[in-house]
Amino acid sequence: MILVFGKNGQIGNELSRYNENICLSREDCDFANINSFQNLIKKFSPSGIINTAAYTNVDGAEEEQDLAYKINSTAPKKLAEACASFKIPLIHISTDYVFDGTNLDLYKEDDATHPLSIYGNSKLLGEQNILMSGAQAIILRTSWVFSSHGKNFLKTMINLSHKRESLEIINDQIGSPTSAKSVAYACMKIIHKMIEDKNLNGVFHFSGTPNATWAEFAKEIFKAAKIDIEISHIKTSEFSSKALRPLNSRLNCNKLFNKTGIKQSFWKEELIKVLNEMGIKTNV
């Protein structure tokens, strides 16, 4: 049995579809107030743990800094320490926003991190806390997650298309759209490999392919959903937001493939599946 934290998030929701998983929501385990994971682990006696729980409001974290650090840094530290004491493997979901976007190439796992936001910094500190805990742990960084569940760029675009005839979309940030379903699948493959191989640990990247800008992602969404809407390109500097975001957050995922054989997902194919889940008739 695999114990999953963050049931109501995008990835946690997808992991809840696997019969072998027991998934806990914020009501079951509040990462903002958790003092100990020991009793929960004793109660369920899992073979492995996947943590998808996080404070993910990038702009909100600039104002709710204490809460972001509690959920993204302090709680993962306590969880990893508990996993170390019980010798249980842990997968922790992290983010491309630990990077500042100044690289010209795709980011590798050992590239220098320099987060631009409180959200990115809180996630990076969480990574560091886990890696220092002594637990067998994998940090899985992913990016631009979308699904039919929760809040994400895809659902925002669909909702806005019902209200407007044109949209201005950022076209100078480039990254990797990634379906929550594909991340959940990767997590399940990885956790079982970790159970078999106690030496499997460290930081890995997993994202969709090919890379795209937000504007290119939006165009693909509207094309697949048969929505006729005008899109104009704007620069990040023209868009008002509280938190800074990396202009380049493309992830190099070769390490994960070489270690586990897990391939990147093709997000355009995943997009069709998600739109169908949302009840939107597509071109395919």
Residues with a known catalytic role? 119
HSE-up of residue 240 (Cα within 13 Å, Cβ side): 0
Name residues whose C-beta falls within 8 Å of residue 72's C-beta, 6 or more positions apart in sequence. 54, 55, 119, 122, 123, 125, 126
C-alpha to C-alpha distance for 74 and 269, rounded to whole angstroms: 37
Q: What stretch of H or E contains 174? A: strand 174-175
Buried b (16+ CB within 10 A) or exposed e, 149-182: bbebbbbebbeebeeeeebebbbbbbbbbbbbbb
Nearest C-alpha neighbor of 73 from the set 114, 135, 123, 134? 123
C-alpha to C-alpha distance for 50 and 137, rounded to whole angstroms: 10
Q: Is the peptide bond before 76 cis (omega within 30 degrees of 0)?
A: no
C-alpha to C-alpha distance for 266 and 213, rounded to whole angstroms: 15
C-alpha to C-alpha distance for 186 and 217, rounded to whole angstroms: 22
